[in-house]
Chain A
Amino acid sequence: MSNPLEDPDDDWWNSPIHRRESIWLGLAGAWSLGIFTWMAGFTQFGDQNPIGTTYDVDPDRYQERVGEYKEAAEETEDGLIPPDNDVYVGAMRFNWDGLPAVLEAGREYDVHLGAYDVQHGFSVRPEENLNKQINLQVFPGSEWVIPMTFDEPGTYHVVCNEFCGQGHRTMHGRFTVVEG
């Protein structure tokens, strides 16, 4: 045992370690490896992973692509019904272009996320259960394609959770998920 304000004895490296500290090292080490293994494994067997494919895209080009998608989609009172499994969302100050959209529960969509101007935050939750929510970062210059399957019908609200300017708090969009 020594004093943290003085040089330790010459043989400090060989001083014995207390038995309880050794046990704690074992527990802490096992826990560290355990949570690493779980996190890495969950990417293989889990259903919730922030993993998709990213493409570099010019923001103007991405805006055009969202425009083409909106042309092809069917317009309804509740929002756009995508023509196929691809759903485009374009974040801009202070609006979610492409939303609101109407999706089917239980169907896997490829959600395309990109921004036209600055960084935004794509934050989604069902209206009835606020503790279910997913948050992803959206960049201008990147098109991030992430598969998503909404399992329950209902209204899902999208807010921006990355500061994007004075009107940031007004940025709101919606998915209406209907029975498939």
Chain B
Amino acid sequence: MSAIASLFRNDYDADGFRTCSVTGLDVHRSVENYVKLFGLTAVIALAVGGSFAFSVAMTRWEFVGLLDPSGYYTHLSIHAWNLLIFWMVFMEIAVLYVGGPMVLGRKLPLRRLATVGWVTMVAGAVGVNASIWLSEAPNEAPLLTAYVPLPVSPWFYGTAIVFLLGATIAALPFFATIWSETRDSRRTLPLVAFGAFVTGIVAVEAILGGIAAFAYAFAWRVDLIAAVDPGIYRQLYWIVGHGTQQINLLAMITVWYFLTHVVGGAVVISEKISRTAFILYLFFINLGAAHHLLVDPGLSAGWRIWNTSYAFYGAAFASMIHAFAIPAGIEAGRRRRGQGGGLFGWLTSAPWRNPVFAATIFSIILFGFLGGITGVVMGQIQVNMTWHNTLATVGHFHATVALGTTLAFFGLVLFVIKTMFRRDFVSDTLASAIPYAYGAAMSVATLMLMYAGILYGVPRRTAEVVRNIPGSEFNLSAAIPIFMIFGIFALLAILSGVLFVGVSVGSLLFGDRLAAGDDGGMLPEGGLHADGGEPIHAVELRGTFALCLIFLGVFVAVYVLNWYLLTQLWAIGA
């Protein structure tokens, strides 16, 4: 217990504040402790969900074929809920507290609500896990979606609602902070706080949809209503199913602006453009829930096209804005300090041994190239016919969530260990290796999932199909080589995840305490604020421009390739 208590101790002044030696922010004990609490809980969910990644991957790798169907769907459900929901949402509450009260230098208001929120979330998370694990026939494992009318335990729907309510309560102190900071003044929030605020609004929208969906299904399961409509459930469900992934996206981008600035010396090249991008998200990103309904019966083509495109690609355009603005911020910040000449010198001379920096940059690159491009391509209603419910879809969301968001959050957790827990890493070498090992292994595993889905049509959500379809002569054994590569790299990715948890927990328990004022190697060369203030038009941004042109080229190539494959198909549709 004393070891745990010591994690929540730091040297504060009489008012409970201290000045962060890295960010220069005035940090109050209350904010810091709740960030630690939610962050640690998130890492526990990561460890649970990551453990089940092993049994899931080793079942899909039919060479091993670890589980039979009765166990597989249960394990898959626990893997999905702990990683896609609990690891992410606990981290996101922490991100809100950082982006709100911490950046603004305030105490955390309504602390009792934060505690109630945390307890409710934990109760919901434990309940969801228990309801999945203890589920008995005729109830089926819910997977992530719990599509009606497949019978799923009412306990599952009930505890999922509890979790969502808890997350809403936990977000209230953040909204209270923004309210009290802005109601009397015409203050413009810092960009990170603004990003967190938009994240918070999108989160509330998602949660309301989730409560509606699960309450609808719950009412049916406990016989309050006689029947459910699968189409209506799917529309409601995807408000939260996709919405939570939009929270991940917005939280991740907010973290990108934060961490590239703090550990990489990035600046904001245009407040107007970056904030406009967040506003575009606010209006349009939730339309993306329609991505999951593109090959559903009963929805008009116009409805699907309008929504899947986020209204003329408003949200995809916003993401492309960030794709330029964030690397350009690094380039501008570093060039102003004279760090790195030529086209890419600013990038090659960056602090690549700092795992916080490397994790953030890999998150940006891998999210964009693997996750973002595939998301837009598969989100076109015609192309979706070739992606829907194949492993390629699983590849896409592992690129966005397991590469993009998880890598960014790895960076954030390591940053919090240094700056809030004030611990040195148990091993700098091992800590530095995390983003490289995880990024590389998970990238290959993710690409193999995409290939298996697109080139071999391997379905998701099935215990076996590649080597054998029971009761049929047919199988998808041509995909076996892909799965040999997938299996090995999935194992390596899981081992890298173990390395992350090991270094994090090891550093918390055995890491040396950093002395007051020690930046723990987090600050960029020349400190956080470089001297000199050249105006933006005087700074070269050609490195970023070149990178973005490469990105656009890959985007066009992937787009054309997918459309080519589609047009090779037999004719379908009116």
Q: Which residues of A contact B (CB under 8 A)?
A: 1-8, 12-13, 15-21, 23-25, 27-29, 31-33, 35-36, 38-40, 42-43, 46-54, 108, 113, 117-119, 121, 123, 125, 127, 130-144, 146-152, 157, 159-170, 172, 174
Contact, CB under 8 Å: B567 / A139: no
Given contacts A20-B541, A50-B572, A161-B460, 13 further A-B contacts (CB under 8 A): A18-B539, A21-B328, A36-B309, A47-B573, A50-B382, A52-B574, A130-B455, A130-B457, A133-B386, A135-B387, A139-B297, A163-B143, A169-B469
The segment from B126-134, B404-412, B474-482 found at the interface with A is B474-482
For the complex of A and B, the 7 pairs showing the least CB-CB separation, nearest first, are A49-B573, A32-B313, A144-B297, A161-B459, A133-B457, A28-B320, A4-B191
- Expressed in whole angstroms, the minimum distance between the Cβ of B385 and any Cβ of chain A is 5
Which of these, B273, B384, B385, contacts A25 with CB under 8 Å? B273
B573 touches A48 (CB 8 A): yes
B548 at the A interface (CB under 8 A): yes
Assess whether A166 is in contact with B69, with CB atoms less than 8 Å apart.
yes
Taking a contact as CB atoms under 8 Å apart, the answer to whether A15 and B455 are in contact is: no
- B454 contacts A113, CB within 8 Å? no
Query: A1-B533, A130-B456 in contact; A54/B298 too (CB < 8 A)?
Result: yes
Task: Give the one of A13, A17, A118, A134 with max B CB within 10 A.
Answer: A134
Contact with A along B389-400 (1 / 0, CB 8 A): 110000000000
B2 at the interface (CB under 8 A from A): no
In the complex, whether B179 has a CB less than 8 A from a CB of chain A is no
| Nearest CB of chain B from residue A158's CB, rounded to whole Å | 10
In the complex, chain B residues 181-238 whose Cβ is within 8 Å of any chain A Cβ: 187-192, 229-231
A7 close to B190 (CB less than 8 A): yes
User: A53–B479 Cα gap in the complex (Å)?
Assistant: 35
Whether A52 lies near B296 (C-beta < 8 A) is no
Give the CA-CA distance A174 to B149 in the complex, in Å: 26
- Find out whether the CB atom of A137 lies under 8 angstroms from the CB atom of B388: yes
Contacting residue for B386 out of A27, A28, A134, A152, CB 8 A: A134
- The reply to whether the CB of B295 lies closer than 8 angstroms to some CB of chain A is yes
Tell whether B425 is near chain A: CB-to-CB under 8 Å. no
Q: Which residues of A contact B37 (CB under 8 A)?
A: none
- Show 11 residue pairs from A and B whose CB-CB distance is below 8 angstroms, ordered by the A residue: A1-B267, A4-B191, A8-B188, A19-B537, A49-B382, A52-B297, A52-B574, A162-B389, A163-B143, A163-B462, A166-B140
- Is the beta-carbon distance between B297 and A170 smaller than 8 angstroms? no
In contact, B569 and A132 (Cβ under 8 angstroms): yes
Return the chain B residue nearest A42 by Cβ: B382
Query: When A16-B535, A21-B328 are in contact, do A48 and B541 touch as well, CB less than 8 Å?
Result: no
Is B472 on the interface with A (CB-CB < 8 A)? yes
Q: Given that A31-B555, A139-B231 are contacting pairs, would A1 and B268 also be in contact in the complex, using a CB cutoff of 8 Å?
A: yes
CA distance A3 to B262 in the complex (A): 10
Contact of A21 among B231, B313, B325 (CB under 8 A): B325
Complex contact B548–A161 (CB within 8 A): no
| Docked-complex contact B461 and A161, CB < 8 angstroms | yes
Minimum C-beta distance from B3 to chain A (A): 32
| CB contact between B149 and one of A42, A140, A144, A159 (< 8 Å): that residue | A140
Contact with A along B299-327 (1 / 0, CB 8 A): 00100010001001110110011001100
The answer to whether B573 and A147 have CB atoms under 8 Å apart is yes
A31: chain B residues within 8 A (beta carbon): 320, 552, 555-556
Which B residues contact A (CB, under 8 angstroms)?
23, 25, 69-70, 73, 103, 140, 143, 147, 149-150, 187-192, 229-231, 257-258, 261-262, 266-273, 294-298, 301, 305, 309, 312-314, 316-317, 320-321, 324-325, 328, 332-333, 336, 376, 380-382, 384-390, 454-457, 459-465, 469-472, 474, 476, 478-479, 529, 533, 535-537, 539, 541-542, 544-545, 548, 552, 555-556, 559, 563, 565-574
Q: Is the CB–CB distance between A1 and B536 below 8 Å?
A: yes
Find the residue from A135, A167, A170, A174 having the highest chain B CB count within 10 A: A135
In the bound complex, residues from chain A placing their C-beta under 8 Å from that of B316 are 32
Contacting residue for A48 out of B267, B478, B572, CB 8 A: B572
Tell me the complex Cα distance, A134–B536, Å: 49
> Which of A15, A119, A132, A160 lies in contact with B270, CB distance below 8 A?
A15
Tell me whether A29 and B317 are in contact (CB under 8 A).
yes
A28 x B541 contact (CB < 8 A): no
Query: Are B324 and A24 interface neighbours, CB within 8 A?
Result: yes
B230 and A119 within 8 A (CB):
yes
Taking a contact as CB atoms under 8 Å apart, the answer to whether A17 and B571 are in contact is no
- Measured in the bound complex, the distance between the Cα atoms of B270 and A13 in whole Å is 9
Alpha-carbon gap, A62 to B270, bound state (A): 58
**A97 to B271, alpha carbons, bound, how many Å?**
59
Q: In the docked arrangement, what's the CA distance between A162 and B298, Å?
A: 18
Cβ of B556: which chain A residues have Cβ within 8 Å of it? 31
Instruction: Decide if A33 touches B312 in the complex (CB within 8 Å).
Output: yes
Q: How far is the CA of A2 from the CA of B272 in the complex (A)?
A: 11
Residues of B within 8 A of A166 (CB): 69-70, 73, 140
With A39-B382, A136-B385 known as contacts, the answer to whether A16 contacts B465 (CB < 8 A) is no
Asked if B462 and A165 make an inter-chain contact with CB atoms under 8 angstroms apart, the answer reads no
The answer to whether A36 and B301 have CB atoms under 8 Å apart is no
Q: CA–CA, A98 to B270, complex, Å?
A: 60
Q: Are B574 and A131 within 8 A (Cβ)?
A: no
Q: Which residues of the partner chain A approach B459 to less than 8 Å between Cβ atoms? A: 121, 123, 159-161
Closest to A113 in B: B297
In the complex, what distance in Å separates the CA atom of A119 from the CA atom of B314? 32
Question: Which of A18, A149, A152, A165 contacts B140, CB < 8 Å?
Answer: A165
A148 to B6, CA, bound (A): 67
